[in-house]
Each structure stands twice: as C-alpha cells, then as structure tokens.
Amino acid sequence: MALDTEFSVKSSGITREWSGQIQPALVASFLFLFCLEACLWVRNLRQKRRLPGPFAWPVVGNAMQLGQMPHITFAKLAKKYGNVYQIRLGVQQHRAAANVMCALCFGKRYGHDDQEFRCLLMKLDKFGQTVGAGSLVDVMPWLQSFPNPVRSVYENFKSLNEEFFSFVKNKVSEHRESFDPNVTRDMSDAMINVIEGRKDSTLTKEFVEATVTDLIGAGQDTISTVMQWIILLLVKYPDMQAKLHELVDKVVGQDRLPTVEDRSSLAYLDAFIYETMRFTSFVPVTIPHSTTSDVTIEGLHIPKDTVVFINQWSVNHDPLKWKDPHCFDPSRFLDENGELNRDLTNGVMIFSSGKRRCIGNQIAKVEVFLFTAILLHQCSFESNPSDPVTLDCSYGLTLKPLRCFVNAKPRG
C-alpha cells in the first residue's frame, strides 16, 4: 500500500494519463473475459453427465480456493463431491541422494565439494522452490502478460529449467562421443543404446536427455525429502529409534555395514520407512496426466484431454483404509509374525499407480532402505534443545519439513 501511494504521488501526471487511456481498455477486456467465461460456465451446466465439483469463478476457476496445502483442500472436496470430481484451474538430504542419481545416470560420483556438483544441487533446490509458479502459469497463462510476483518467480523457474537441461545435455553429449555399444557404463548409455542404436525404435534422440533430466530431478528431490522426514521422525519418536538400533545391531553387527541382503531380516525398518511415506505423504498430489480418450469412472464421464491427478495424501489418510490414519505407527505394516504385510505396503500411494507410475520407485525404495539402515548403524539422532522438532512443512515440488537442526552422534 505504501509503495502504491508513493508511486501515485510522485507520478500523478503519468497516473492520470494511464487512467484515461489504459484503464478503460483493461476494464473492457476483463468484462469480455468475464462474459465469455460465464457463457462457457452456463454451457457446461447444461451438459449431461457433468462431473460434480465446486463452483468455478470466471477466468481464475478454483485456483484461488486451493490455499497453501492443496491436498488438504482436495480431501475436503472429496468428502462433499465424492471420489471423482472436477475443479477448474484458470482457463485450463541432498548431496548423497543426488550423488546416487548421478552415478546411475552418468557413471560418475562427485566429491561433495566439487564445484559443478554443488552448482547442480543449488539449481535443483531452487527448482523445487519455484516450481509452484510454473503450475500457476500453466493454468493462468495471462499472468505472464503484466508485472506481478508470480511472473518474476516463473522467469526464475524457466531459467533454472534451461540451465539444468543444459547440464544434462552436455553430459549426454559426452556419453555419445565415447559410446561403445558393447559396454554399458550407466543408464545414459543404456538409453542411448535402446533409443538411438535400434532401427525399430519409435523414440527420437531427444528422449535420452528428457528422461535423464526426469530421473535426476525427481529422484534427488524425493529421496532427499523422505530422508529429512525419516530423521525428523526418528528424533520425534526416540523409543522407535532405540528399537531400530537394537534390530540393526542384532542383524548386522558392528563388523560391517548393512546391505540390501539384510532387508528381509529388517522388517521393522521397512515398516518404519513405509509408515513415513504414508504418514507424511511428501508427494501429496500426483503429477498431472491427461486422458488420451473418453473414459468412465464410477459412472462419471471424463472427456478426452482432461487433466487428471490423484490426491495421494487423501488415499494415505483414508480412515476406511487405515486405522488411526493420523497416528504414526510403523507396526501397522507388520503381521502377527513380525513380517512385512505386503498387502498393506502396496496400499501406500507415493509413486502414483498404473502404467504411468514413477519409473524409479524400486530404485527409490532400495536407496531409502540403505540410507536409513547405514545411518542407524552409524549414528543416533537427538533433538536440539534450542530448535524443537516440529512436523510443520512447506509446500513445493514435495512437502518438505521446515528447516531445523538435530544432533547426530556417532555410535560406539
């Protein structure tokens, strides 16, 4: 308000000219858009088998109703409108996790102080902070037409996208130059071989860079986020941490580090990880997809080219499916023999579902198991008295716990 007032006082002549020439055009444009949207809304009302859902305002649709935590809003809407409903949006630990993905995709691990690697991490972190602006511009492209905070953040988002893709493109280009079809060094080589080395491939070479970009971007952010939650919950529930320490010591001992082969004997650790994914639902809503044909779900007609997504948080907190869903209880995933209940673990939705689910879900589960097992084997975690643990989070590409400090101590 103060800035607007100061600008008006200092630039009164310009303001009067702007008011006399530009404002009427803007008002007329807005009225035109409003009338157009109103006509479309009336038409949609008359359509048969219209999907249930909340009233959508002209131009902005339901975008302004979603709030800071859209997954919570979606859950409330589901109670009112059912499992399938429509909304209108507009006119339509970092280093370790990233190093694993770099090793998989590029066959190279970076030193933690490597300048190129640190630059990559910075880009990935900023990408997660700005991705929300990209979502808003997707559904309200007119936000790019005039100066506003969303446009500024969106410009940063686009720039980060371009820089990150350039990094991946250079790495894949290096792989192409040294590619040997008889030696598969990493996933980049494997994709080059399948996509570019086979005459029957229907994919173009650009799919290599695009797929690697997705693997690193999505893999690093989700793994680092779930590890933050795991450490936070270990601190919040010290009795569970003590039980896990005892289990890891019994199964692994002190003479070696945990391996994937130990997983079958560490059912409670797996249960703790699955409960962390269910309880936090750190990927609360799936990435939007689009229907490729007209489909019917629960008797409701969904036209081709409709954008669809699943509220994973709601699935993971459904009281009809989970007993006391808002309580953190890893034992819910164990049967009477203390073994992992696969039927229940398969019910946790964090990597989406169906043919289009996350392609890296199995890699992610192995990564998280090994990270957690090794951390528990080597360290104990305690709350920092000056920084109490909280389960509050920030909303971006994933639900991240708010920044806090915990004490990590080497185990004797």
Where in the chain are the domains? 2-74, 94-281+317-410
Q: What is the pLDDT of residue 109?
A: 67
**Look-up: residue for tokens 């290096």?**
174
Helices (H), 253-360: 267-280, 312-316, 342-345
Q: CB neighbours (10 Å) of residue 345?
A: 17
Between the alpha carbon of residue 7 and those of residues 10, 12, 20, 266, the distances in Å are: 5, 8, 17, 65
Percent residues over pLDDT 70 in the chain: 65
- Average of per-residue pLDDT across 340-348: 94
- Average of per-residue pLDDT across 328-357: 91
Higher-pLDDT residue of 276 and 163 is 276
Calpha distance 331→326 (Å, rounded): 14
Q: What is the pLDDT of residue 372?
A: 94
Q: What is the pLDDT of residue 4?
A: 34
Calpha distance 25→254 (Å, rounded): 75
| pLDDT tens column, 261-271 | 999 999 999 99
**Look-up: residue for tokens 């530009």?**
22
Q: What is the mean pLDDT of the chain?
A: 76
Consult the annotation and say whether 379 binds a ligand: no
Which are the contacts of 86, defined by CB distance < 8 A and separation ≥ 6? 51, 52, 53
**Residue 317 — very low, low, confident or very high, per pLDDT cuts 50/70/90?**
very high
Is residue 388's pLDDT more than 80? yes
Q: What is the pLDDT of residue 56?
A: 62
Q: CB neighbours (10 Å) of residue 369?
A: 19
CATH class of domain segment(s) 94-281+317-410: mainly alpha
- Helices and strands of the chain, counted as H and E runs: 13, 8
Q: Which of 55-64, 167-176, 327-336 shows the highest mean pLDDT?
A: 327-336
Q: What is the pLDDT of residue 80?
A: 64
**Residue 167 — very low, low, confident or very high, per pLDDT cuts 50/70/90?**
confident
Is residue 15's pLDDT more than 90? no
